[in-house]
Structure 1
Amino acid sequence: MSGDYSIYTGQKRTFTIPDYVLFSLTLAISAGIGLFFAIKDRNNVTSKEYHLGGKNMNILPVAMSLLVTFLSALTLLGTPVEMYNYSTMFWWLCLAFVSAMVLASVVFTPFFYNLQVTSVFQYLELRFSKPVRLLASFIYILQTCTYMSFVLYAPSLALNAVTGFHLWGSVAAVGIVVTLYTALGGMKAVLWANTFQALVIMAGLMAVLIQGSIVTGGFQNAWDIAGNRSRIYFHDFSFDPTTRHSFWSVVIGGSFFWTSLYGINQAQVQKALSCPSVSKAQIAFFVSLPGLILIVSLCCMIGIVMYAFYADCHPMDFNNLITTSDQLLPFFVMDILGHVPGLPGVFVSSLFSGSLSTISSSLNALGAIIPRDIMKPYCCPNISDRSITILSKVIVFMFGGVAIGLAVLASQLGSVMQSSYSVYSVLNGPLFGLFILGMFFPWANAWGALGGALTSLAFMSWIGFGAFANKVSTAKLSPVFTHGCNWSVTTTAMTVTTTLRTTTSFTGSTEVTTIAAPSYPFIPMYKLSYLFYMPTAMAVLVIVGLFVSLITGCRDPKTMDPRLICPLFDRLFPCMPEMILRPLRCGVNHKGNIRNKVYEEADELPEKIQPIDANGVEVKPPHDTEAGVLKGGAINQGFEPIDAKTPGSEECITHL
């Protein structure tokens, strides 16, 4: 394909034997880790061991896995292209990482750890009802399958661009490898494979940045070239929600997005629960934070170097050397590293390592929630623990195949980073909102949760897919150029020569110029920044959920089990005076929450939450119900069951 030609040599560059060896080793080592733990734990086939690593995992592999789970090839490919096509505004995302990690480790992790639920959706049944749990589970399954398809397609696209290797052949090969080692090794294989993959990612990014800086005359020179052409731009503080990347959209929208990933996503919560204590899980989060900032910063710096390298000869406008912007980075890598055997293989290995880590974590999460949230409550209530483990492995194999099939759809949606953020937020926003509604608003009932979730999902689908159907695009800050390209094409080969300009001077205006964007006066919401999808979806769900709860009968906070409501201000401001904290608890008595430490050393994950009274003392419920809840999800606090004819919120929930 034309993308295999360097614009500087006119020669076709492909993988050498060392490149193929290094790439194959990445896949082989990942598969080997899964096989190792499958053999090692062959006599210990329990769901606790398979899904949670025996709840005795070391901080290091958990931290490394938390780091790379959502730093897939989408981030590694998309972030440099973001710097190239637009500006450095996206770099503010590092601030969002800090706030997301603080909230995830201080608020969400202790909450779920103390509940000791294998699936986060068990909480939604305890707090609301079975239908809410089922709806959330289906949304998560759809969202995860969609995201895995993007993650699988992106590195395969890169491999196709730099080697000519068949695109769908690589999709199938990588999908099979990741499915195999995840199904065989469970959580332990996922964590240790992710640790290895994190090292490969670091190595690949460093190789590209160092060599890219060398060929552009140093990183400072590359920075100056990009700055003179309006790519270095950090000061867009516009409050306009349609601004694609402003300080507020990146920091606030990004904070919501990444808090949802680290706070309530099954894949991440499951890893936190694999630690032996809450404190070690929190340490794992904070250990992963510097690495998260480092990897994204390396991607941003590579984007700046890449722009300086192609400042006067944009590959997409130059004889269509590449067909999509997602091929820019692999094309750049072959230009600067293609003459060094092995280094392109390191880069492609880093891309696939990012995707392997994401897909393996997602498959492991699906293997945990489908048996527990769908099959056990509705189909197989008496299924044994061993059967759950075997069923989980079968599910991993099944959904590995689904991800491969859906990768075809991902190839039709344009830029992988923005498309993945948009689709993921459309589905994950309502899901995140359900947990926010349940954890922080004790008045909400099951009717409110269902009504809010369906409304939010419909509203965000209208915005997201409407924007895609109407091809809403964002103007670039400044145009790209090809005046530095000198080329000729013959019928037999392409011969290209150009001179790399490393000077910082630029003829023309250095002011920010904007290309006029198309107008969509009929539906302004289509132009909403994709980074605001998550907070918008959450806000719609909470507002509608509280309104529906109000008209159907609000829950009484005094009758709530305090373990199901998160004391947000107690978590964030533990030194605040009691006279201020008391009204902020909204009438929920958190006195009994001190008993949560009992669960830290529990050998078995409780399927029920034992009812407690207002003083935190366990009471025997009048009648036993599944998961320790009444039919509608109301935790029995020692009160008599509410009759179906009794007016109020519990009547609505019971009939639900």
Structure 2
Amino acid sequence: MTISGAPVGQFSVWDYVVFVVMLLISASIGVYHAIKDRGQQSNSQYLLGGRQLRAVPVAMSLTASFMSAVTVIGTPAEVYRYGAIFLIFCFSYAVVTIVSAEIFLPIFYNLNITSTYEYLSMRFNKSARYIGTTFYIIQTVLYTGIVIYAPALALNQVTGLDLWGVLVATGLVCTFYCTLGGLKAVVWTDVFQMGIMIAGFLAVIIRGVVVQGSFERIWNISYHGGRLNFWDFDPDPLRRHTVWTIAVGGSFMWTAIYGINQSQVQRYIACINKCEAKLSLYLNMVGLWLTAICAVFTGLTLYSIYHQCDPLTEGEVRAPDQLLPYLVMDILKDYPGVPGIFVAAAYSGTLSTVSSSINALAAVTVEDFIKPHITLSEKKLSWITKGLSLMYGIICIGMGALSSLMGSILQAALTIFGIVGGPLLGFFLLGMIFPCANSIGAISGLAGSILLTLWIGIGGHVYPPLPEHTRPLPLSVAGCFFNNTERPELVTGSPWTTIDPVTELNNRPAIADTLYSISYLYLSPIGTLTVLILGLIVSLLTGGMKNKVDQKLLITLRGRCCCNSAKASVKSEIENTKETMDGLADTGKDNPTFSGQELNYSEKQNHIQSMTHL
């Protein structure tokens, strides 16, 4: 039931205009960079922007890449049902930023690699690299499917368009856009799309304050409804969200995203030097804080308006993730074009995330599976990369269709990162921290960890946690103006209800109330620690103490200085490339790999020249 008692509105002509303009601007940015760089056939230029990117656009791209439609739609619904404790993730963002900037970034940047998983072959062996890349591809395809499904759900709610038609259209637009341009086009489009996402949040918050009369009223209603539950220090690991589950579990989960995930690492190692790369991560932290605060306040606004008449219980919406689109068309229906901004915000999040994911998937496939085995010119590699982008786009569309079966899109997305991301984080940390770790131990640790987290994840899906650990906060229907003859169960029953059914307690094994019921946020630290412990034990039992490891592959204090070490690293690479060029010149320039190496040499010269003017 709406706040006015009238049905929610539908998209107007101006809403479609705003939405289409957003798409055209995003596409035009991609087309512009595709045309601008059409003469540069280097695969490195396509995947890394020639390593010439600056901190501010990269920071906004980093934020937009994972603060997607899942955030725009899922986080406010999370706050509406479970409270504003989600804001504690801001602490996790700070921890993750420092760890990524000071530990992972120096190693990856100094190695001058394109695929994160190249590190695994340098530290362990090729098998470790292939295994790590395979798990990354699986994880990213699953996550990207959820991201495609989220805005399709929003458009279905606010426009009435067919859900599956919109889902396919979303995937096709993202695939087309990503295949057009390289990383540079993706980054600059993310800058625009990040602004649209924030504008969508602000439109809802500002209108909500006007409807309620003041922000103080929103705050008071949220307080009395138990939504300002920031400081829940209950140590029970079975509780879904507490300060401990978010601070500890969230830190591990987001470190797996910003520390080793190809989609993120590929952006900051594309910066012009290490100083800019680190700055991009710290600016990204501010962007994450801003987005999280906007999303939480949007959720509180949502609760303050429907705190006496829950649309989900009333049957006005079918799923929690449709609550915010429903609110938008309820309170903004009299302002043509403004609902279009919200849908554009959700769609912007999708474009940024999916394009980033597809670009990264193509990058790791080329770098880890094709280049080590086949010698091709840079031009051919560039065409293969674009073809892979198209293929992965189609695969992600198919996964989007399956995402409708995963329940809450926010928890589904974070669970995927816990099951796969945690073990992968441990895989890298094992090699970076312990010189005695060998390939046998690392692969054994990863296999055991994946099996454990997958077992817990599947068990938690088959046997959902007990209601007392996951039940949403109370939601009222006392203020609904429904027809008593049509909804008698709501008249005779209690005015307070919850939207999750009581879990069937019969035939539950004992482990279902312990291990299977553990908070989904703890999957990531469990996976990471299992790899470290099991991997270290197996390594020591298989002769790991005899290892001799290059210091640049380990976490050390050496080489942490920003600009000088970056410049020295690239200068060294230039000298090596020049020696290769001189050798090719002596043997003849008809070598099929000559043109690509010549182009890379020119790019690196430009890199050095730009750094000397800093």
- Normalised to the residue count of structure 2, the TM-score between the two structures is 0.87
Please report how far the alpha carbon of residue 522 of structure 1 lies from its aligned counterpart in structure 2 after TM superposition: 3.0
Pair 1:371–1:335, CA change in 2 (3 A):
same
Alignment of 1:453-468 (within 5 A): 453-468=446-461
Please report how far the alpha carbon of residue 372 of structure 1 lies from its aligned counterpart in structure 2 after TM superposition: 1.2
Which amino acid in 2 is paired with 1:29?
A: I
Indicate which of 396, 409, 419 corresponds to 1:403. 396
Pair 1:570–1:78, CA change in 2 (3 A):
farther
Contact 2:263/2:356 (<8 A) preserved: yes
Which amino acid in 2 is paired with 1:356?
A: L
Pair 1:601–1:158, CA change in 2 (3 A):
farther
Contact 1:158/1:327 (<8 A) preserved: yes
Pair 1:79–1:287, CA change in 2 (3 A):
same
Alignment of 1:145-544 (within 5 A): 145-318=141-314, 320-378=315-373, 380=374, 382-472=375-465, 474-476=469-471, 478-488=473-483, 521-523=510-512, 524-544=514-534
State yes or no: 1:88 paired with 2:77: no
Paired with 2:183 and 2:125, the residues of 1 have a C-alpha distance of: 29
Which amino acid in 1 is paired with 2:516?
A: Y
Contact 2:478/2:495 (<8 A) preserved: no
Aligned to 1:644: none
Which amino acid in 2 is paired with 1:166?
A: D
Which amino acid in 2 is paired with 1:444?
A: A
1:33-69 deviation per Cα after TM superposition (whole angstroms, max 9, x unaligned): 1111111111111012101101111222111101111
Contact 1:51/1:368 (<8 A) preserved: yes
Contact 2:59/2:281 (<8 A) preserved: yes
Contact 2:10/2:159 (<8 A) preserved: yes
**Structure 1 vs Structure 2: percent identity of aligned residues?**
38
Paired with 2:110 and 2:559, the residues of 1 have a C-alpha distance of: 14
Aligned to 1:563: 552
1:133-178 deviation per Cα after TM superposition (whole angstroms, max 9, x unaligned): 0000100011110000000001110110111011112112221122
Please report how far the alpha carbon of residue 377 of structure 1 lies from its aligned counterpart in structure 2 after TM superposition: 2.4
Please report how far the alpha carbon of residue 279 of structure 1 lies from its aligned counterpart in structure 2 after TM superposition: 0.4
Please report how far the alpha carbon of residue 109 of structure 1 lies from its aligned counterpart in structure 2 after TM superposition: 1.0
Please report how far the alpha carbon of residue 289 of structure 1 lies from its aligned counterpart in structure 2 after TM superposition: 1.7
Pair 1:42–1:515, CA change in 2 (3 A):
closer
Pair 1:394–1:289, CA change in 2 (3 A):
same
Contact 1:33/1:185 (<8 A) preserved: no
Contact 1:475/1:516 (<8 A) preserved: no
Please report how far the alpha carbon of residue 601 of structure 1 lies from its aligned counterpart in structure 2 after TM superposition: 4.6
Contact 2:464/2:517 (<8 A) preserved: no
* Backbone CA RMSD of aligned residues: 2.5
1:592-617 deviation per Cα after TM superposition (whole angstroms, max 9, x unaligned): xx97753235666989xx9xxxxxxx
1:624-651 deviation per Cα after TM superposition (whole angstroms, max 9, x unaligned): xxxxxxxxxxxxxxxxxxxxxxxxxxxx
Paired with 1:604 and 1:227, the residues of 2 have a C-alpha distance of: 60
Paired with 1:603 and 1:41, the residues of 2 have a C-alpha distance of: 24
Please report how far the alpha carbon of residue 8 of structure 1 lies from its aligned counterpart in structure 2 after TM superposition: 2.7
Paired with 2:416 and 2:565, the residues of 1 have a C-alpha distance of: 40
Contact 1:230/1:477 (<8 A) preserved: no
Aligned to 2:544: 554
Aligned residues: 561
Indicate which of 106, 127, 133 corresponds to 1:131. 127
Unaligned ranges ≥5, structure 2: 488-493, 581-614
Pair 1:477–1:404, CA change in 2 (3 A):
closer
Paired with 2:573 and 2:538, the residues of 1 have a C-alpha distance of: 40
Paired with 2:538 and 2:51, the residues of 1 have a C-alpha distance of: 39
1:72-111 deviation per Cα after TM superposition (whole angstroms, max 9, x unaligned): 1111111111111112211100011111111111111111
Which amino acid in 1 is paired with 2:50?
A: G
Paired with 1:181 and 1:235, the residues of 2 have a C-alpha distance of: 43
Paired with 1:533 and 1:307, the residues of 2 have a C-alpha distance of: 29
Please report how far the alpha carbon of residue 13 of structure 1 lies from its aligned counterpart in structure 2 after TM superposition: 1.4
Please report how far the alpha carbon of residue 123 of structure 1 lies from its aligned counterpart in structure 2 after TM superposition: 0.5
Paired with 2:224 and 2:112, the residues of 1 have a C-alpha distance of: 54
Please report how far the alpha carbon of residue 478 of structure 1 lies from its aligned counterpart in structure 2 after TM superposition: 3.4
Paired with 2:24 and 2:115, the residues of 1 have a C-alpha distance of: 31
1:577-601 deviation per Cα after TM superposition (whole angstroms, max 9, x unaligned): xxxxxxxxxxxxxxxxx97753235
Pair 1:184–1:372, CA change in 2 (3 A):
same
Indicate which of 16, 20, 30 corresponds to 1:34. 30
Contact 1:107/1:571 (<8 A) preserved: no
Paired with 2:95 and 2:166, the residues of 1 have a C-alpha distance of: 37
Which amino acid in 2 is paired with 1:546?
A: L
Pair 1:174–1:515, CA change in 2 (3 A):
closer
Paired with 1:421 and 1:117, the residues of 2 have a C-alpha distance of: 28
Paired with 1:438 and 1:469, the residues of 2 have a C-alpha distance of: 35
State yes or no: 1:599 paired with 2:589: no
Paired with 2:501 and 2:150, the residues of 1 have a C-alpha distance of: 28
Paired with 1:566 and 1:385, the residues of 2 have a C-alpha distance of: 33
- Normalised to the residue count of structure 1, the TM-score between the two structures is 0.82
User: Counting helix residues as a fraction of each chain, which structure ranks higher?
Assistant: 2
Which amino acid in 2 is paired with 1:223?
A: W
Paired with 1:316 and 1:183, the residues of 2 have a C-alpha distance of: 39
Aligned to 2:611: none
1:476-502 deviation per Cα after TM superposition (whole angstroms, max 9, x unaligned): 3532111101123999xx9xxxxxxxx
Which amino acid in 2 is paired with 1:475?
A: T
